Structure 1
Amino acid sequence: MAEHRIFATPFAAVYPMYVQKAERKGRTRQEVDEIICWLTGYNRESLQQQIDNKVSFTDFFAQAPAMHPKTDLITGVVCGVRVEQVPDPLMKKIRQLDKLVDELAKGREMEKILRQ
């Protein structure tokens, strides 16, 4: 089975879209960064390095210091697919990130987005 093309897509190509989606709804880049850092374990500096190096989604998640232990609490539908039912581990991580950014854009409080 062929890999999905998003796996080879540079994270840096999609990151601005996450930021734009949030900013259109009155949220900030800093909030997007906070969500990404919470999910992946990157700090802001290492996140920026990943963006600058234009790593693929595959490498972005493979090099992540540590996925947050509460990722199993990220549930819901993204693009018509239930996040918790995505069978491919990498695609599941990508969908989890998409879901968190969606929640931010919909005005959800950061404490709830970060499952605190």
Structure 2
Amino acid sequence: MEKARILMMPFASIYSLYVQKAEKKGRTKSEVNEIIFWLTGYDEPSLQQQMISGVDLETFFRQAPHINPNASLIKGVICGYRVEEIKDELMQKIRYLDKLIDELAKGKVMEKILRK
């Protein structure tokens, strides 16, 4: 089976798109980072290392220190799919992050985005 193109994209490229999307809507890079840290368990140094090393999106998620157990509380539609119904675990994690960044750009408060 052929790998989805998104899995081969450099995480740093995706990250910069997330930051652009957030900043266009008056949100900040630090908020994007907070979401990534919450979802994946990375911290500032390990996130920077992943971007410097040029890992692809698949590797970024496979090497994530831990996926937040509350990620299963993320519900809704992103890219035409209900995130809670995505069968492929890796693709679901990617779409979780997409959904959280989308919520940030739509002005949701951080407490709700991080499912507190």
Q: What's the TM-score, normalizing by structure 2?
A: 0.97
1:16 maps to 2:16? yes
Q: Secondary structure at the match of 1:99?
A: helix
Aligned to 1:64: 64
Q: Secondary structure at the match of 2:69?
A: coil
Q: Deviation digits for residues 68-110 of structure 1, max 9, x if unmatched?
A: 0101001100011101111111110000000000000000000
**One-letter code aligned to 1:75:** K
Q: Deviation at 1:52?
A: 1.1
Aligned to 1:47: 47
Q: 1:103 & 1:49 partners in 2: Cα distance? A: 26
Measured on the aligned residues, the alpha-carbon RMSD in Å equals 0.7
Q: State the percentage of identical aligned residues.
A: 60
Q: What's the TM-score, normalizing by structure 1?
A: 0.97
Alignment of 1:1-116 (within 5 A): 1-116=1-116
**One-letter code aligned to 2:59:** D
Q: 2:88 & 2:3 partners in 1: Cα distance? A: 10
Total equivalences in the alignment? 116
Q: 1:99 & 1:53 partners in 2: Cα distance? A: 25
Which portions of structure 1, spanning 4 or more consecutive aligned residues, are displaced by more than 6 angstroms?
Answer: none
Listed as ranges, the gaps of 5+ residues in structure 2 are: none
